[in-house]
Structure 1
């Protein structure tokens, strides 16, 4: 979940490098009458012409939807110019999600604008997961997600960030394990992605995310809360044929106005976390 926004000063901030998650339309109704606006009576519409009109509109709508779903995708190659995103830049491209995983993390995304966005989204999920709180699992995640030249730097930084003080502030045991009777929640969910620069071997991608973080259980002093943040990753195409992250940063927001939903009880949240799995994110 994100480090920015929604937490008190005891929680780590973005500088700590801790990756956890955290139109309507208006219609104008014209006066009804027997005239056509010029005094002449209106002739009844022919049924056949009305049917042709309706069919024509449906065909146009289907064509428009198909075109919109292809907007902004430029295939497998291309430089930084490429085609610009369409009106819906996070629309599905029609490409299949990858079927390969390394340590449970999807890998092998295509060398394309859509492929690098899928990689960034899935890496955001991994870096915001509960497994990041266990040192061995964290190192396995970094080995998959980060480019080789960046792994050691992030390992050292995160070993310091995931400290006993952090665990205490989150209501965990000193070693980062979850107290008996509680369920610890740390999840990141990508909402959308955007490529800000792209070439065949380098790209910068922003991932807008929502996150959950907290301790579910009776008497928890750190209940599960939601957060909104944007992650920026610089990725490169590495030997072996896949994308890996070179840098990672995040900032708070954009944050929507909270709704009027009633907060669920701790047991409901704990059950949901255990029963609902994650997704492979692919454009």
Structure 2
């Protein structure tokens, strides 16, 4: 696994090159104006986003505490290959945090799913583009034996001036004046691919938003869909990431909706905080 493997969630690098058929559109004008967002294949996304590193919380982490679990759904059981509920279940949500990232997951398959989902949100956040934020996230989500190698790989990519320039960011990973940088992963569901006492593989299906919102943006916010499979190891009382793989989709058919204006998109990221997904 190389740093390039982590880029798909934001830019489709290494994607399948799939195409989708949509009804003809009129003159598009400003992508944030009155028209729908233009269709982009995985290939064309490369030119918009460049080699964006992903793994795969969001810009603002909701602080979810303890309390009695709502509407218990029975004990957690292994759900290989089957859909699992994403609403709160009978297992109490985690109450610990490493910085802003929930930690201390149950030692069962549900705990592994919660860990993978929360880590996907953190690794796909705008904080990964700043030195302080990236260090905090890497320390919180990766297994101790992999931290040093992963930190070095991610630092190399996220500080590359050519890469930052292609996605429209300044050398410190922040947005230019007048623009708002949006990078969020929105999990749709999780699935246990395999589970053992000390290791698990969990797939997360998610949508991601990535780009710069604001008047004159050359990299408008776009949406894409991916599935990332995380390899997790149990140790020191928690689940941590040791590896991953990623693929495109499943991608839903887009509705015929008007794309929001630059101001609407910029306002939204400031007004709607991101979620954590511990359950």
Bucket of the pairwise TM-score, normalised by the shorter protein: 0.7 to 0.9
> Among 260, 266, 277, which residue is 1:270 paired with?
266
**TM-score normalised over the length of structure 1:** 0.73
2:91 counterpart residue number: 95
Shift of 1:248: 2.4
| Structure 1 alignment gaps of length 5 or more | 23-65, 75-81
Give the Cα separation in 2 of the matches to 1:123 and 1:107.
9
* Paired residue secondary structure (1:258): coil
Flag the structure with larger Rg: 1
Report Cα offsets for 1:109-165 as digits up to 9, x if no partner.
101111110000000000000000012220111011000111112112112221111
Change (3 A) 1:84 1:216: closer
> Among 29, 32, 55, which residue is 1:19 paired with?
55
The answer (yes or no) to whether the contact 1:118–1:281 under 8 Å persists in 2 is yes
1:36 counterpart residue number: none
| Structure 2 alignment gaps of length 5 or more | 1-8, 13-41, 59-70
Give the Cα separation in 1 of the matches to 2:56 and 2:117.
14
Shift of 1:238: 1.1
2:34 counterpart residue number: none
Shift of 1:84: 5.3
Correspondence 1:170 to 2:173: no
> Among 191, 196, 203, which residue is 1:194 paired with?
191
Shift of 1:174: 2.6
1:225 counterpart residue number: 222
2:122 counterpart residue number: 126
> Among 250, 257, 265, which residue is 1:254 paired with?
250
Give the Cα separation in 2 of the matches to 1:2 and 1:217.
19
Give the Cα separation in 2 of the matches to 1:142 and 1:216.
27
2:46 counterpart residue number: 8
- Compare 159-168 and 180-189 and name the one that shifted more: 159-168
